[in-house]
Structure 1
Amino acid sequence: GKRVLLLEKNDFVGGMGGTRAIFAGCRNEVGASCLFPLSTEIKAYFDFEAHGVELIPLPVMAVNLVGANGRPLIFFKNTLRLSFDMLRQFGPGAMLGFARFLRFCQYPARVLDRFTPRKAPRRLEDLIAEAATPAEREHLELAFKGSAMDIIDRFFPDPVKHRELRASMAFAAVQATYKGPYTPGSGLCLIYTMAQEGSEGLMQRVKGGLGSLSECLARQIESLQGEVRLKQNVQRILLENGRAVGVETRRGECFYADTIISNLDKQATFNGLLEETPLAPQDQQKVDAFTHRGAFVHMLFKLKGLPDYSPHLRKLNGIPGARFGGAMVLEPEELQRSYESCLRGELPEQVPLAFQIPTVADPSLAPPGFHIASAYGFYFPCEAEKSRRGKLRDQMAEKIIAHISLHMPNFAELIVDQAIFSSDHFASMQGVTNGDWTHGLLHPDQMIGERCLIEGTGHTTPIAGLYLCGASCHPGPGVTFLPGYNCAHEVLAAAATGDATTSAAPAAAARAA
């Protein structure tokens, strides 16, 4: 029974979950690319497939590679094939270690509540303190405060036999942090990455790109008499008597509503859209304490053919789906050195990266005979002087292509077009602070309840009538739909109880400023 108006800055919906035409005839994902597990409740509520979304299963979810002569770590969708291949390539110790590692992750993953809808998150320290036994408390302390390597060393102790597993798990622990795998607190990101929703922990592609999900949501909003307006760049939130009552766009148009919901991160919301209205000191301190770093370069490619793996990996060319992608990683010690180089304002010697050729799974994303590829290179020195970052970005791009070519020697000769985006581009295009796609890095001091501004709620703010609904809220980044879903439930609950500080009855009325 609420009237909803959605204002989108770009000319496409979805932001970092959107898909647009970067290259002629192609659909390119500008941020997220794969659909990871969804909460059972979310799947049932949105029922994307019934609304025309086609999900594409991946027979091979990822191939992780380390070093010029490393063994490929192949994550088959079929768990029996995954186990057999791990046993054959890495031995029984590695296979058992992987099973034990997954079991170790289950308890702290449950505590994280990454897939639990409609539950107000609680402070990490309280959750650890309430562990039932000293052993469980120690388990959580290690998982959430220890380094990733404190955990990895337990299950994959042999640097030679377990080389590829150690490198892959270390990489999983740092993509959403500003840490190295040996840095305390990096273990939490590893647990977050490995968390699964029951038996649904399988990665999938969305036909037409991940933006098809955002486009589906827009259609659902419009079918319920809501309105979606594109190219509406909001420059400030309007207040009356300390309450949020509307927004003003850069073109001077004002929209008024009883409830205002921001999908931006906390600093972009309060230090940007509310720059002229500072919060109380203790609230402002919470907002400013969040760490935002975008230590990455994102590259998109249009290719005139499908690249082949190097000779020692030639068997991968014959495995259906094995050229879809995965990660090209470094051994943990080298990964830590890359982080330390980043801190010094230097590029890593070799760039660790996540890599995909989406057209292997979905040929509709490019014209016949062509493919598109995507790579995220990590540990870009995002805190270097701004005058240096353009040159560093271009040098990082060369290193990314060189690393891909180490495993796919004909990759560079297939490139017909490419685009390079640093975190500076993400900041301007998507409105995220410092280009931080996580809306608050996965560090222990800014996860679960620490992501909240008002204790006991996930989305209310110190300003009446204003809510947050993006990844800066629990459970954080990733295409889960939970921040928005949970926020909507908070808004409706407040309206039902007549809470004067959180009244909700959106009105799509607009007037010129």
Structure 2
Amino acid sequence: MSDVDAIVIGAGHNGLTAGTMLARDGQNVLVLEKTNWAGGMAATKELFKGYKHSVGAWAMIVLHQEMIDLLEVEKFGFETIVPETSYCVYGEPEDKCFIAYNDPITMANKLAEDHGPDAMRALFDFFQYMRIFGKVADKERLKAPDAIEKLIAEAEDVETREALQRLCHASAMDIIRDYFPDPDKHRTIQGSLAAMSIDGTHMGPYTPGSATSMAFHYTASDAMNVFKLPVGGIGALSEALVRALEAEGGEVRYKAQVKRLLIEDGKAVGVELRSGEKITAKVVLSSIDANTTFLKLAGEEHLPAPFNEKVKEIDYRNGYIQVHMTLKEEPEFTGHLAFTNEDKLKWLMAYIPSADHVSKCWNEYKNGQIPEDPLAYCYFPSMIDPTVAPAGYHTATLFSHYFPYDTPKDRLREDAAIMADRAIEQIARYAPNFRDSIVDKLVLTHNYFEKTFGITGGDFCHGLIEPGQMFASRPVPGHADYRTPIDNLYMCGAACHPGPGVTCVPGYNSARAVIADLAGKEGELVAAQ
């Protein structure tokens, strides 16, 4: 007899979602977490006494209200804040800022006012084009997905088919230029669109295939381009899920690192912890990436050679830095950004001066160089959510793409500090008090996330957002239904369809596959409930 019905490896939001759904189905669930906190790469941590920082993911950009309702996390203390704006993208003084207002009417009026009616129409036409991808992706969201080429071939009409073909294989700039043909006009708008194409990729905006990431980012949510902040930081979702799991009789065990999977006669029967303890289960679900799950925890000897080769081909090259800071005062912007000091417009400032600037940073990165003039997203969550900092003080987190992925370990700290300083300067040159306001600072790279969570390459996507790694090819072709070549072993994290972001969908879908199999409905996902 097994010790438990189900073991879930990893207490991130997907692992906890899977565990909660299984516990609701009456299964005895044990979630094993390597660290001593919940949330994985979307956790709230007290990096500095009295302050809460969102480590890893930081905003609810792609979480559907449907999932919030299905998981009932609001009953367990989860709540979000929707600010007036999602971000303010800025560049040089001669360029108007691009501000993403969350109310569509306000957005349209401000776009027309700041950038002209032509820019307003172009951007809204662009978003309509993105929705072609979104409509198809949404149909695939709560099921084992079809292959991209099948989705294209079965499109409802020629126009949709041609659009999907481009959105899945063209470069982001191929699409952007359809709506913004002049690279010297509306540069901050173009920069913002281009930046969406590089998040979670090893690409630049002119790289074929980069349109996929752009379309994914703009359409994965049920409210396009709207950022929501969880009260108390990003980890509030996982903390609510822990309470939901425990209310159903499930358990989370912390500081319980899995050393290997226990496999007998081609079936997963449990795990062995680093401590040497063995725990048996009817099923095992892994919310960590495919490389770690199959090649390290399971072992190649338990898997077909062709499958192992597919796993080895997954691209995890995702270089970035995240800088967490405490501040003794708010930044005061000057010059062409002085207006952002009003109405909390400055809560998220993004230095993305143009699409070509994004491309310049990509070219430096792919040549192993730290970008000379890096992109920078800096947000100040305490301006929106006062629970994350002591009264009169503030938190700030800066994110920058394109920290050289292959930086030697003996140079990581030095090079990360160089890039962090360059990124901080993008804020400080327009907010003269910013540097002096910094009290504490911690610079994290992808290497930190790899070491802390055992995630290959520290890739927060668990496999990049590229055409060959999405839909039926996620995590590898032939295994997009959350099942694996090892019986009773399932995948339930961002490595699975629909991919990265705080969505809870991979965990939800995986639990449905397990429930179907336990009920004798192998090969199906049970109906959403």
**TM-score normalised by L of structure 1:** 0.94
- 8 Å CA contact 1:114–1:475 kept in 2: the answer is no
Cα distance in 1, alignment partners of residues 153 and 368 from structure 2? 39
Q: 1:199 to 1:474 in 2, by over 3 A?
A: same
- 8 Å CA contact 1:114–1:192 kept in 2: the answer is no
Q: 1:454 to 1:257 in 2, by over 3 A?
A: farther
Cα distance in 1, alignment partners of residues 521 and 344 from structure 2? 53
Cα distance in 1, alignment partners of residues 91 and 33 from structure 2? 40
Aligned to 2:61: 36
1:23-80 Cα offsets, whole Å, 9 max, x none, are 1101111111111243353132112223221211211211111235432211112222
Q: What's the offset of the Cα at 1:11? A: 0.8
Q: 1:252 to 1:240 in 2, by over 3 A?
A: same
Q: What's the offset of the Cα at 1:134? A: 3.2
- 8 Å CA contact 1:113–1:475 kept in 2: the answer is no
Cα distance in 2, alignment partners of residues 432 and 68 from structure 1? 41
Q: Identify the match of residue 139 of structure 1 among 163, 176, 197.
A: 163
1:60-105 Cα offsets, whole Å, 9 max, x none, are 2111112354322111122221111110111111000011001101
Aligned to 1:422: 445
Does 2:391 correspond to 1:363?
A: no
- 8 Å CA contact 1:39–1:115 kept in 2: the answer is no
Q: What's the offset of the Cα at 1:287? A: 0.8
Aligned to 1:103: 128
Cα distance in 2, alignment partners of residues 251 and 45 from structure 1? 36
Q: How many residues align?
A: 499
- SS of the residue corresponding to residue 488 of structure 1 reads helix
Q: Identify the match of residue 324 of structure 1 among 324, 347, 351.
A: 347
Q: Calculate percent identity across the aligned residue pairs.
A: 34
Q: What's the offset of the Cα at 1:390? A: 2.9
- 8 Å CA contact 1:393–1:422 kept in 2: the answer is yes
Q: 1:270 to 1:12 in 2, by over 3 A?
A: same
Aligned to 1:476: 499
Write the letter of the residue equivalent to 2:455: V
1:154-199 Cα offsets, whole Å, 9 max, x none, are 1112223321111110111111111000010000011011105555
Q: What's the offset of the Cα at 1:391? A: 2.2
Q: 1:68 to 1:116 in 2, by over 3 A?
A: same
Q: 1:200 to 1:40 in 2, by over 3 A?
A: farther
Does 2:370 correspond to 1:354?
A: no
- 8 Å CA contact 1:149–1:170 kept in 2: the answer is yes
Does 2:420 correspond to 1:388?
A: no
* 283-292 or 325-334: bigger deviation: 325-334
Q: What's the offset of the Cα at 1:454? A: 6.5
Cα distance in 2, alignment partners of residues 255 and 306 from structure 1? 50
Does 2:252 correspond to 1:225?
A: no
Q: Identify the match of residue 282 of structure 2 among 248, 258, 265.
A: 258
Cα distance in 2, alignment partners of residues 72 and 473 from structure 1? 36
- SS of the residue corresponding to residue 237 of structure 1 reads strand
Q: 1:156 to 1:498 in 2, by over 3 A?
A: closer
- 8 Å CA contact 1:453–1:462 kept in 2: the answer is no
Q: 1:333 to 1:472 in 2, by over 3 A?
A: same
Cα distance in 1, alignment partners of residues 168 and 265 from structure 2? 41
Does 2:216 correspond to 1:184?
A: no
- 8 Å CA contact 1:454–1:462 kept in 2: the answer is no
Cα distance in 1, alignment partners of residues 427 and 225 from structure 2? 27
* 307-316 or 267-276: bigger deviation: 267-276
Q: Identify the match of residue 293 of structure 2 among 269, 272, 295.
A: 269
Write the letter of the residue equivalent to 2:75: A
**Structure 1 gap segments, 5+ residues each:** 503-513
**Structure 2 gap segments, 5+ residues each:** 1-25, 525-529
Does 2:72 correspond to 1:47?
A: yes
- SS of the residue corresponding to residue 321 of structure 2 reads strand
Aligned to 2:183: 159
Cα distance in 1, alignment partners of residues 146 and 228 from structure 2? 31
Q: Identify the match of residue 400 of structure 1 among 409, 415, 423.
A: 423
1:316-361 Cα offsets, whole Å, 9 max, x none, are 111x221210421142222212112111111111111222101011
Does 2:103 correspond to 1:82?
A: no
- 8 Å CA contact 1:247–1:255 kept in 2: the answer is yes
Does 2:46 correspond to 1:21?
A: yes
Write the letter of the residue equivalent to 1:73: F
Q: Identify the match of residue 84 of structure 2 among 59, 64, 78.
A: 59
Write the letter of the residue equivalent to 2:160: E
Q: 1:277 to 1:341 in 2, by over 3 A?
A: same
* 278-287 or 370-379: bigger deviation: 278-287
Cα distance in 1, alignment partners of residues 64 and 381 from structure 2? 24
- 8 Å CA contact 1:297–1:421 kept in 2: the answer is yes
Cα distance in 1, alignment partners of residues 357 and 84 from structure 2? 31
Cα distance in 2, alignment partners of residues 70 and 289 from structure 1? 42
Does 2:174 correspond to 1:150?
A: yes
- SS of the residue corresponding to residue 195 of structure 2 reads helix
* 36-45 or 296-305: bigger deviation: 36-45
Cα RMSD over matched residues? 1.8
- 8 Å CA contact 1:447–1:476 kept in 2: the answer is yes
Cα distance in 2, alignment partners of residues 197 and 433 from structure 1? 26
1:132-167 Cα offsets, whole Å, 9 max, x none, are 333322211111100000000011122233211111
Q: Identify the match of residue 464 of structure 1 among 458, 475, 487.
A: 487
Aligned to 2:13: none
Q: 1:176 to 1:417 in 2, by over 3 A?
A: same
Aligned to 1:510: none
Cα distance in 2, alignment partners of residues 55 and 43 from structure 1? 11
Cα distance in 1, alignment partners of residues 296 and 268 from structure 2? 15
Aligned to 2:16: none
- 8 Å CA contact 2:291–2:312 kept in 1: the answer is yes
* 301-310 or 53-62: bigger deviation: 53-62
Q: 1:101 to 1:72 in 2, by over 3 A?
A: same
Aligned to 1:248: 272
Q: What's the offset of the Cα at 1:455? A: 3.1
Aligned to 1:287: 311
Write the letter of the residue equivalent to 2:239: E
Cα distance in 2, alignment partners of residues 69 and 25 from structure 1? 40
